[in-house]
Structure 1
Amino acid sequence: MKILLVEDDANLREVTQRSLEKERYVVEIAADYRTALQKIEDYDYDCILLDIMLPDGSGLDLLEKLKKMHKRENVIILSAKDSIEDKVLGLDLGADDYLPKPFHLVELNARIKSVIRRHQQGGENSIKYGNIEIFPDKYGVTVAGKKIELNRKEYDILVYFMNRPGRLVNKNTLAESVWGDHIDQVDNFDFIYAQIKNLRKRLKEAGATPELKAVYGFGYKMVVE
């Protein structure tokens, strides 16, 4: 899962980023409006944590930009401005939740899981496709009811495709979502091919009905034959 943290307070930004990375999220940061806008224009995220009061603009304006771009990111507003007007305006502009500062990191993590579960899992505690079932809260995976062991990136790749069954995914988009936007700096995608190869082998050995199909020259898609 890939998160964008938009926060101008350096200490809060660092503490929050470390906490979320311990929860196995890919976390990218933006300290101001300009950087945040550039990132949401260039990349997709599973969740955006958005401060309202930024040094060079308003987080509410970023919400409006998201709406105009027809992007579907989950948005949680994190703000010291705890007025009813701000909450209502933020939710009207498309925010999914509103968490006033100061907040507990445990609660923030619970809120993130909640909005992702509502939007990507239909409110369910697991993700199912074919005979594969993923339990995100426990980072568990079963095939036909039997647990299988995956490394972290294999798991992240599987979650990404399970949330997009049958959809053709460009290898660049996959890399950015699972490894973060610094992926732009790499020379090739050999590491992705290796992880995909290992994941496909593990799923096949476990008897999974969904299969990761390579589409030459573009990327991959998960389908049930």
Structure 2
Amino acid sequence: MKILIIEDEQSLRESILSYLKGEGNICEVATTYRSALEKINLYSYDCVLLDLTLPGGDGLKILSEIKKLNKQEGVLIISARHSLDDKLSGLEMGADDYMVKPFHLSELKARIMAVVRRKNFSGSNLMAFNEINIDILAMEVKVNEKLIHITKKEYDLLIYFISNQGKVITKNAIAEHLWGDEIDMSDDFDFIYTHIKNLRKKLVEAGAKDYIKSMYGVGYKLENV
């Protein structure tokens, strides 16, 4: 998953960042209202962790901006504000969940997973595309009920393609989603071709049809054959 952590408290931010990256997620951070707005307008995420008290502005205005842009990110508010009014305000404005500080990182992870499942997979732990089946919690991929072994990047690619099936996805969008905004420094996306080639090979060898199509000069698209 790709997660944006909007939090100005350094110790908490670094703890969350270390924990979630250790779980294999792509994480980016914003520490001020202005930097959070820039991230939201430039990039897309699976989940946004949103503190309400930020240098330069109110986190609820960030939430309002996400909704105004019609973005699909799940939003989990993490705040020291524990009044019922604050919680209701956040949820009524469109946040998917609300956690009061302090909290256990294991619970944070579980809440993030629940938000992403509700947003992208209709609340299910299972994801399917024809003969391809994915167990989101176990991070297992099966083709015709046979388990196949793929790398973490290949797994993330497959989830991304199935979540955007039928859409043309540019190489830049793939790189930014799977590697984060530091990929902006690169102008060579040949490594994406390698990952996609390996994923396609493993799926086809396991008995799946070749659903990932190259759109010359643009990017890739996953579609029914």
TM norm structure 2: 0.98
CA shift for structure 1 position 187: 2.6
**1:111-153 deviation digits (Å, cap 9, x = unpaired):** 0110111111111111100110111111110001000000111
Matches within 5 A, 1:135-154: 135-154=135-154
Q: For 1:166, what is the secondary structure of its paired residue? A: coil
What is the CA-CA distance between 1:209 and the residue it aligns to?
2.9
Q: Deviation string for 1:3-62 (max 9, x for gaps)?
A: 000000111111100110111110000011111100000000110000000011110010
User: What's the counterpart of residue 110 of structure 1?
Assistant: 110
- Whether the 8 Å contact between 1:210 and 1:223 is mirrored in structure 2 is no
Amino acid of the structure 2 residue aligned with 1:158: L
**Are residues 175 and 41 of structure 1, via their aligned partners in 2, closer, same or farther at CA, if it must alter by over 3 Å?**
same
**For residue 192 of structure 1, what is the aligned residue in structure 2?**
192
Q: C-alpha separation between the residues in 2 aligned to 1:210 and 1:116?
A: 27
Residue 8 of structure 1 corresponds to 8
> How many residues get paired?
225
Where does residue 93 of structure 1 map in the other structure?
Answer: 93
Matches within 5 A, 1:1-225: 1-209=1-209, 211-225=211-225
* SS of match in other structure, 2:48: strand
- Structure 2 letter corresponding to 1:207: G
C-alpha contact 1:132 1:210 (8 A) present in aligned 2: no
Tell me the SS of whatever aligns to 2:212: strand
User: How many angstroms apart in 2 are the aligned matches of 1:135 and 1:201?
Assistant: 20
RMSD across aligned C-alpha pairs, in angstroms? 0.9
Cα shift readout 1:51-81 (whole Å, capped 9, x = no counterpart): 0000111100101111111112100000000
| Structure 1 unaligned residues grouped into runs of 5+ | none
Q: What fraction of aligned residue pairs are identical, expressed as a percent?
A: 49
> CA offsets, 1:191-223, max 9 Å, x none?
111101111111111111351100011111111
Query: Post-superposition, which runs of at least 4 consecutive aligned residues in structure 1 deviate over 6 A?
Result: none
What CA distance in whole angstroms lies between the structure 2 residues aligned with 1:208 and 1:195? 17
Deviation string 1:77-99 (CA, Å, 9 cap, x unpaired) is: 00000111111110111100000
How far apart in 2 are the matches of 1:169 and 1:130?
Answer: 20
Partners of 2:162 and 2:45 lie apart in 1 by: 16
> Aligned AA for 1:140?
E
| Alpha-carbon offset, residue 224 of structure 1 | 1.9
- Report the secondary structure of 1:133's partner residue: strand
Do 2:204 and 2:210's aligned partners in 1 also have CA atoms closer than 8 Å? no
